């Protein structure tokens, strides 16, 4: 598999779609063709994810109706893993084996907004890589959350759909307050900077 640096070098940064757009709320089509066109899409997704400082990105987030996501994400031991999963299926523990982690979650397609969301702290994701070969990813910590979050996107679900009405309102209010920081073609053009009372810019 190419390294993250290799993928980024081959890719072009694309605009990230937002939750306002229909592609974010529809079931994606299975990946059936594995070739140069798919590999270029994967490279573009890695480059876009890096430009947006993300840990995962699904194809609908670059406006493509395919069941595919990429990731470059740490596990519970802070070891970064990266890869490509086409046609993913996520398995979660059940019964006494299921433990939940309540952590802040955000989305590159609703940038600047975060809310607490409980998800299982372990996930197994199986599918195919960019060449069509079988792949299995076992996720712990943030990687487990990432695998669930990105697979949700491929079924037309955004993490806001999993929040209570009150939490969703808070999420949307925070998003609205930060909307001016994100150009319409973000991250092709970078995020803006907030200015504090002392007039200095601070990253958000």
Residues 103-160 pLDDT 10s: 999 999 999 999 999 999 999 999 999 999 999 999 999 999 999 999 999 999 999 9
Contacts of 75 (CB under 8 A, 6+ apart): 81, 139, 140, 141, 142, 143, 144
For the segment 3-24, what is each residue's pLDDT rounded down to a tens digit? Answer: 999 999 999 999 999 999 999 9
Residue 117's contacts (CB-CB under 8 Å, 6 or more residues apart) are: 102, 103, 104, 105, 159, 162, 163
Question: Which of 37, 130, 150, 176 does the annotation list as catalytic?
Answer: 150
Please tell me the pTM assigned to this model: 0.94
Q: In the annotation, is 37 catalytic?
A: no
Q: Please report the pLDDT score of residue 204 as a whole number.
A: 25
What pLDDT score does 200 carry? 30
CATH fold, domain 4-189, is Peptide Deformylase (3.90.45)
Residue 195's pLDDT is what? 66
196 pLDDT above the threshold of 80 = no
């Amino acid at each position: 598999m190419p390294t993250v640096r290799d993928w980024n070098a081959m890719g072009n940064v694309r605009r990230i779609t937002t939750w306002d757009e229909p592609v974010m709320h529809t079931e994606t089509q299975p990946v059936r063709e594995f070739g140069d066109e798919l590999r270029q899409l994967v490279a573009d997704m890695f480059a876009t994810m890096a430009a947006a400082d993300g840990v995962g990105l699904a194809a609908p987030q670059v406006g493509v109706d395919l069941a595919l996501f990429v990731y470059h994400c740490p596990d519970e031991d802070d070891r970064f893993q990266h890869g490509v999963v086409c046609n993913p299926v996520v398995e979660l523990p059940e019964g006494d084996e299921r433990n939940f982690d309540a952590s802040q979650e955000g989305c590159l397609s609703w940038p600047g907004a975060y809310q607490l969301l409980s998800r299982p702290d372990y996930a197994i994701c199986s599918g195919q890589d960019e060449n069509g070969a079988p792949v299995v990813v076992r996720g712990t910590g943030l990687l487990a959350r990432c695998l669930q979050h990105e697979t949700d996107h491929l079924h037309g679900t955004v993490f806001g759909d999993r929040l209570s009405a009150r939490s969703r309102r808070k999420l949307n209010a925070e998003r609205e307050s930060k909307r001016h920081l994100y150009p319409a073609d973000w991250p092709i053009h970078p995020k803006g900077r907030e200015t504090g009372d002392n007039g200095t810019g601070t990253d958000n």
